[in-house]
Chain A
Amino acid sequence: MAFPRSRRVRQFYLSMLFLITGRAVQAASGIDPDIRREVSRLPEDCTLKLTVWPKGPGFTLRKTEAGTLRLLPPQETSDADMHMEIQAPALGFTLFTFRESSAAAASKGRITASGELALACSLVRILNRTEIYLLPRRIALRAVKRYESPPKKHRRRLHVLFRTLIFKPPGGSP
C-alpha cells in the first residue's frame, strides 16, 4: 500500500515532482546534447504525455521548431501522439520516490502506453537523462538502469536547475 498514508500529502508530492520534472525536461532539452539528439528524431510537433491515472498529476511536452521540448500548459494537453499512464497514484509515488526505475515499472506492466512505443522509448530515455541532472548520484542510480555521467555534468546540472527554478523556456515556439 501507499506510503505515506495521507493521500493528500502523496498527491501534493506527486504534483510537485511532475511539475519539477516537466520543467527540468524542458530545460535539459535545450542543454544536453544527448537529449537534443533524441528530440531531433521525434516527428515534428510531436506531443508526449505522462500522467497518473485517474486524475493526474501529469505533464505534456511538445517538440518545438527549435528542436527542443516545451512543457504545455494544462489547458493544451488534450490529445497526445503518445500517452504514458501510471496505473495508480500509489504506483506513481513508488516511481517518483525512486524506489523503482522506470524500466522496472514498465517491465512489470505498471505503466500503460498508448501510441507508438518508439516514442515511449524516447520519453523514457529523456526522463532518465534528466534525472541524472536532477538527482544526486546515489538516488539516480536507483532510478535509471545505467548511470552514465554526462560531460560537464556539474555545469550543466546548475544550468538545468536554474532554468527549472525560473522556468525559462529554452527558446522556440511550440
Chain B
Amino acid sequence: MKSRQFFRFTPPGRTVVGPRALETLPELAAGLGISAPMVLTDQQVAASGTSSLVISFLSEAAPPAAVFDRIAPDPDFTAAEAAAELYRSSGCDSLVAVGGGSVIDTAKGVNLLVSQDRESLRPMQGAWNRTGVLRPLIALPTTAGSGSEATQTAVLKDPDTGRTCSFLSPALVPDLAVLDPRLTETLPTDMQAAGGLDALTHAVEAYISLGKNPLSDRLALRATELIVHHLPRILASPRNQHARLQLSVAAHLAGTAFSNSMVGLVHTLGHSAGAVCGIPHGVCMSILLPYGLEYSSHRCMPLLADLLLPVAGRGVYDSLAEETRGIHLISQIRDFIREVHRLTKGAHPLRFRDILSDGNIPVMRPEHIAVIARQAAGDPSLFYSPEEFSQKEAAEVLFAAYWGYPLDTDLVKKGHQK
C-alpha cells in the first residue's frame, strides 16, 4: 500500500473487557448519562438468563424502562420499528443491546428511528449519509462473532423485498461495548463455531479488501491469530473462560477492522444466501470463505501470503516459498474449518447441501442459486471486493460451495490484470 493513500478510520466506542467487566456497567452507564434505557435482546438470550444478569447490573444505575425481546435471527425492519414504538411510549432515553449481531444491528436501527424521529427505516438506508449524535447505545455481545459492537454498519432485511439493506455511518458505532466471558457462557457449541468463523471471515476479508488501511491491517492480523488459537480450544472445552474472552476480543478486533476496510465477495454472497434461504450468517461465511479467497486470489496473493503467518505460525510460514504461501493459506483455512466441523461433531456444516431443516430437507436447493446470485448483485460489499464478479460468476462460486468441490479457477475472469 502506498503510504500516502487516503483512508478514514472510525474507532470503536469505549471498550471494556474482562472477567468482571459486567460489574463496571452501572458506573459506565451513569457516565453516559442514561437513566431509562431500553434493553433489546432475543428470546434465546432471555431464556438463558444472560439478559437478566445484565439487567440486574444495569438496574443499579439505570433500571430499564422497557425490554424488547422479539428479535429473530436475520431481523427485518419490522422488529426495529416495533421496538422504536415501545421506546417512545415507554419514555426511554438510551438503548442497551444484549445479544448477537441481529440484536445489536436492530438496536442500531431503533437508534436511527428514535434519534432522528422517523417512522420507517426504508428511506434511511445508505452509506455515510447519516450523522449527528444518536442516543447512547451500549452493546453487550453474547456471541463472539459479528463484532457489531464495534462497527459503523447495520444490516437489516426489508420485509417487502426480502433483500438485506445496509446502513453505514460513524454515528452507528455503539458508545460502549462490554466484553465479559459470562455473556457467552450459555452459547451452544455450533453457534460458537459459526460465530468464530464469522469473525475469521471478517478479519480475512478486511485484510484483502479494497478499503484496507494500516490500522485495519494490524487489527485483522491480530484477530486472525487469536481466532485460530482460541476457537478450537473453546470447542474442545466450552467452559474455558480465558479462551472465550479472547475470542470475544478477537471478534471485536475483527469487527473494528472490517468496519473500517469493509468486506468483500464472501459477505456479498453470504448476505444473500442468508436472506434467501434463512441460513445463519456465520455458517454462510464459513462455507463461502475458502471459495471467496480462491476467486479473488489472483488479485491479492501477497496479502493472502501475509495471512499465513497468523494462521499457520512462523515455522510453516518460513518453510514455504513466498509464491506458494497464498495458496497454502487457502488450504490451511479449509483444514481449519474441517477441524471445527470435527470438533462440533459435524454440527457445523462444510457445504450448503448439508444444511437441513427440521424436517431433514435441504434448506438450500440448486434452484435457489440463481436467485441468490441475482440478489447479491445489489449488495454494497461488492464495491470492496478485490475482484469484480458477474451474476454468472457468483453462481459458479455458489454451485461449488453447494456441492463442496474446489472452485474451477479457469472459469474466473481476470479482467485487465490478465
Let me know if chains A and B touch directly in the complex, using CB atoms closer than 8 Å: yes
Interface residues of A (CB under 8 A from B): 41, 87, 103-104, 106-122, 124-125, 141, 145-148
Which chain B residues border A41 with CB–CB below 8 Å? 374
Contact present for B380 and A121 (CB under 8 Å): yes
B209: CB under 8 A from chain A? yes
Chain A to chain B: the 6 pairs with minimum beta-carbon distance, closest first: A118-B378, A146-B415, A107-B211, A146-B388, A147-B416, A117-B380
Which residues of chain A are near B209, meaning CB under 8 Å?
A: 107
| CB of A86 to closest CB in B, whole Å | 11
Whether B128 and A148, one on each chain, are in contact in the complex, defined by CB atoms closer than 8 angstroms, is no
- The answer to whether A146 touches B163, judged by C-beta atoms less than 8 angstroms apart, is no
**List of B residues within 8 angstroms of A110 by Cβ:** 6
Residue of A nearest to B131 (CB): A112
Contact B382 A113 (CB under 8 A): no
Q: Does B166 contact A (CB under 8 A)?
A: yes
Min Cβ gap B89→A in Å is 29
Q: Decide: A122 near B378, CB < 8 A? Known: A103-B210, A148-B413.
A: yes
**Pairwise interchain contact B384-A107, C-beta atoms closer than 8 A:** yes
Report the contact-size class of chain B (Cβ under 8 Å from the partner): 20 to 34
Give the total number of A-B pairs whose CB atoms are below 8 A apart: 85
Q: Which residues of A contact B210 (CB under 8 A)?
A: 103-104, 107
Verify B165–A117 contact, CB threshold 8 A: yes
For A85, give the chain B residue with the smallest CB separation. Answer: B129
> Whose C-beta in chain A lies nearest to the C-beta of B152?
A109
Tell me, in angstroms, the Cα distance from A111 to B129 when the chains sit together.
9
Determine if B415 and A145 form an interchain contact, defined as CB atoms under 8 angstroms apart: yes
Beta-carbon contact of A116 and B125 below 8 Å = yes
The answer to whether A106 touches B383, judged by C-beta atoms less than 8 angstroms apart, is: yes
**Which of the residues A114, A122, A124, A141 comes within 8 Å of B126, measured between beta carbons?**
A114
Chain B residues with CB under 8 A of A145: 387-388, 415
| Contact B211 A117, beta carbon cutoff 8 Å | no
Assess the B7–A117 pair: CB atoms within 8 A.
no
B211–A116 touching, CB < 8 Å: no
Contacts of B128 in A (CB 8 A): 87, 109, 111-113
